[in-house]
Structure 1
Amino acid sequence: MTALSAEARGAIGDLNARFAWALDLHDFEALRSILTPDVHYVSVGREFHDVESTIASFRARTATRMTRHGLGNLLLESVADDQVRGRSSWHTFASNDDPPGPGVALFMVADFADLYRRTAQGWRIAERIITPVFRDPALAPGAPASSPS
C-alpha cells in the first residue's frame, strides 16, 4: 500500500463535490467525467454496472425533483498506486415539488463505500455502494409531490 498524496486527496474531494453538483443541477453529462465506463453503482434496490445505465437511472427521475447533497467524514485509503478506497457520510435534502420546494426536508443520510480509480483523465468513481442509515420514502424519486396546504 502506498501513501496517499495531498494532491490525490484534493482531487478525490473535488470529484465528490462535482458528483453532488451534477446530480443537484441535473447535469447528467457531467457524470461521464466523474464515473468510470464500467462503474458499479448500488443504491436502494438499484444496481448498475456501467456508466450508461447509471446515467439513465438519474435521467429517469421526475423532472421537478430538487436535491442538494452534502458529504462529510471522507476517509481515504490507498490500496494500489491507481486505486483508493473511500468511506463517507452523505445527506440529501429533497423535494418532488416544482421549484422552489415547500420547505427543507431531509430525504436520506447514507454511508457511501467507494472505489476511486486514477485514469489517464484523472480520478474517477469506479464503484459506489450506498447504504441508507435514515431514509424518508415519501421524499424518494417518483414519490408524489406534497399536497397544497
Structure 2
Amino acid sequence: MSAELQARLRRVEDRQELAELVLLYFHVMDERELDALPRIFTADAHLGSGDGVFDATGLAAITDTYQGRFDALGATFHYSHGLIVEFDAADSDVASGTLTGHAEVVRNGTPMIVGLRYRDRYRRTSDGWRIADRIMSYFYYTPADRYVEVMPSDDRNLAYGDPRPADWPSVLTGGDLSWLRSLAAR
C-alpha cells in the first residue's frame, strides 16, 4: 500500500474514532459514568462553557464539575446532529471539532430542552484520541413548556433560572466566527 493511501486510510480511521468518542461522551453523561471520563478526556483537559459557568482543568476538576452538574440533574438524553473535524496541518496527533446536538434533561425537577454546540480540541494519546479542550455553548436551554415563548428572545439560556443571552448565533452575539470561516474555506 502506498504511503499516500496509508495516510488517507489513517484519516478515515481517525475520523471514525473521533465520531465514536463524542458519542461515547453523550452515553457517559446520560449514565453518569464518571469513571469513564479518562476514556474521554486527556489528563490535562480543559472544560469550559460559552456562558462562563464551567471552567475546569484536569480530570479531577472536570469530574467534580460533572458531579455538581449531576447533583442538579435528573434523567438526561443527549443526541448528536453531527461532528465536523479539522486536522492540524502541522501535527497529525491534533484535531479540532465542532459537534452539534440536543439534550432533554430534568434540571431541579423541571423538564428542559437544550440546543448544544461543543467546540473541541482533540489529541491522540497512547490510548487513542481524547478531548483536550471542550467549550460547551447553548443555542437555548429552556423549560420544555416555555420553548415557544423563549425562542424569539435573545435571552434563551434559562438553565440557572434567570434569562441569560444565548451563546449563538454569533451574528447576534458578536462572537468570533473565525473557526467557521476556516472550515468553510476548506
Output the TM-score relative to the length of structure 2. Answer: 0.65
Root-mean-square deviation over aligned CA pairs: 2.5
SS of the residue corresponding to residue 76 of structure 2 reads strand
Q: Secondary structure at the match of 1:81?
A: coil
Runs of 4+ in 1 over 3 A off after TM superposition: 137-141
- What is the deviation of 1:88? 1.6
AA at the equivalent of 1:65: G
**Structure 1: 5+ residue stretches without partners:** 144-149
Q: CA deviation at 1:110?
A: 1.8
Is the contact made by 1:117 and 1:126 (CA closer than 8 Å) also made in structure 2?
A: yes
Quick check: which one's helix share is greater? 2
The equivalent of 2:100 in structure 1 is 89
Matched residues in 2 for 1:65 and 1:140: separation? Answer: 14
Matched, 1:128 2:137: no
Asked which structure has the greater RCO (Cα within 8 Å, sep 6+), the reply is 1
> Compared with structure 1, are the counterparts of its residues 124 and 56 closer, same or farther at alpha carbon in structure 2 (3 Å cutoff)?
same
Q: 2:112·2:143 contact (CA, 8 Å) conserved in 1?
A: no
**Residue number in structure 1 paired with 2:24:** 18
- Residue-by-residue CA offset, 1:7-52 (whole Å, 9 max, x unaligned): 0011001111111111100100101111001111112411111111
Name the CA distance, whole Å, in 2 between partners of 1:72 and 1:127: 20
Cα-to-partner distance string for 1:97-120 (whole Å, 9 max, x where unaligned)? 78xxx9xx5521122110010000
One-letter code aligned to 2:19 = G
Name the CA distance, whole Å, in 2 between partners of 1:41 and 1:107.
21
Measured in 1, the distance between the counterparts of 2:73 and 2:64 equals 16
Who is 2:181 aligned against? none
Answer yes or no: is 1:55 the counterpart of 2:63.
yes
Report the secondary structure of 1:71's partner residue.
Answer: strand
Larger radius of gyration: 2
Structure 1's 135 and 58: CA in aligned 2 closer, same or farther, altered over 3 A? same
Count of aligned positions = 136
- How far 1:59 sits from its partner (Å)? 1.4
CA contact (8 A) 1:62 1:96 kept: no
| Residue 71 (structure 1) aligned to one of 80, 84, 97 | 80
Matched, 1:119 2:125: yes
- Structure 1 distance, partners of 2:73, 2:56, is 24
Counterpart of 2:86, as a letter, is E
Give me the whole-angstrom Cα distance separating, in 2, the residues matched to 1:131 and 1:64.
18
Which position in structure 2 is the counterpart of 1:147?
none
Change (3 A) 1:106 1:63: closer
TM-score norm. by structure 1 comes to 0.80
Residues of 1 paired with 2:40 and 2:105: CA distance? 22
